[in-house]
Amino acid sequence: MSDPLLSVLNTSGTYNFAPSMGETVLFAFGACGVRRTALTQAHFEDARIATNMLLGRWSSVGVNLWQVDLQTVPLVQGQSTYQVPSNTVVLLDAYYSISTGTQQIDRIMLPVSRTEYASYPNKQSPGAPTVFWFDRLLSPTVTLWPVLNGAQSSFSYYRLRQTQDANFQDGQNVEIPWYFLEAYALGLAYRLALIHAPDKVPTLKPLADDAWAVASTQNVETANVYITPVVSGYWRP
C-alpha cells in the first residue's frame, strides 16, 4: 500500500548532492564572516592546507570505514618482511591463505608489538605464521612470524589508508561520504577562523565538535559483539 504522504510531496528523486571542495570552502568562509568578494588566492591556499590537515586529523582519531580496503601480498618461502603501501595509516585484520588447488583456506593472524617481536629468540623459525608486526615507518613494512614454510600462498590484510589529497582543480570533491559533509564544512570553518576570523572561533569550535560527534556515530559497523569470559582458572578439581 502506498504512503499517502509521499504522493503529495514534490521531492527531487535524486541523490546527487556532492558539493565540490571549492563550494564548501566558500560556505566555510561565509561561516567565518568573510565575504566572497574579499577572498584572495591566499585565502584559498589556507583552505586547501586546512582541508588536508583536517582529513589527516580524522584518520588519526578513528577508523574511517570508507578508507578501509583489502590488500593481498604473495608470500615467498623463507621471507618474513614485506613492503606495505606508504599511504597506509594502520593495519587492521589480517590472515594468510593456503591454496589446496580446489579451495582456499584462510587463517586469522594477530598483531604484536615491536617489543614482543624483539623477544622472539628465533626470528627465522619456519612454520605457519600466527602473528604479524607492522613497522610504522615512512616506508612501512609488515613482518610475519613464524616464517613461511611453503604451504601458505598469500597474506591479506585490511588497512586504513590515507585520505586522497583534496584539491580545487576541475571541481574535485573531498573524499568523504555524504553524512560527513557538515562535519567537514564546520571543521574547516573553525580552522579558517583561527587565521582569518579569531572572533568567530568560540562560536565555530563547539559547532564543529558537535557535527563531528554526530557524523562519527555513523562511522561504525553494525555487528554483534560477543564477550566470553575465561573462568576455567576459578574451578577446583
2 falls within a domain: no
Say if residue 123 is in the same domain as residue 50: no
Listing DSSP states for 154-205 in one string gives EEEEEEEEPPPPP--GGGPPPS--GGGHHHHHHHHHHHHHHHH-GGGHHHHH
User: Does 111 fall in a domain?
Assistant: yes
Looking at the domain assignment, is residue 222 inside a domain? no
pLDDT in tens, 190-215: 999 999 999 999 999 999 999 999 99
Whole-number CA gyration radius for the chain: 24
Residues 31 and 204 sit within 8 Å (Cβ to Cβ): yes
52 and 86, same structural domain? no
**pLDDT tens column, 212-227:** 999 999 988 877 766 7
In terms of domains, do 156 and 180 share one?
no
What pLDDT, in 10s, does the model give residues 82-99? Answer: 999 999 999 999 999 988
What is the pTM assigned to this prediction?
Answer: 0.84
Q: With both helix axes pointing from N to C terminus, report the angle between 21-31 and 41-61 in degrees, rounded to the nearest 10.
A: 100
Instruction: Check residues 2 and 102 and name the one with the higher pLDDT.
Output: 102
pLDDT at 228 over 60: yes
Which range marks the domain in which residue 112 is found?
67-161
- Specify if 170 maps to a domain: yes
Give domain status of residue 31, yes or no: yes
Q: What is the pLDDT of residue 153?
A: 85
Report pLDDT for 100: 78
If one counts the domains in the chain, the total is 2
The CB density around residue 12, as the number of other CB atoms within 10 Å, is 7
Cβ-based neighbours of 130, under 8 Å, separated by 6 or more: 109, 110, 145, 146
Residues 89 and 38 in one domain: no
pLDDT for 54 beyond 70: yes
Res. 129: pLDDT tops 60? yes
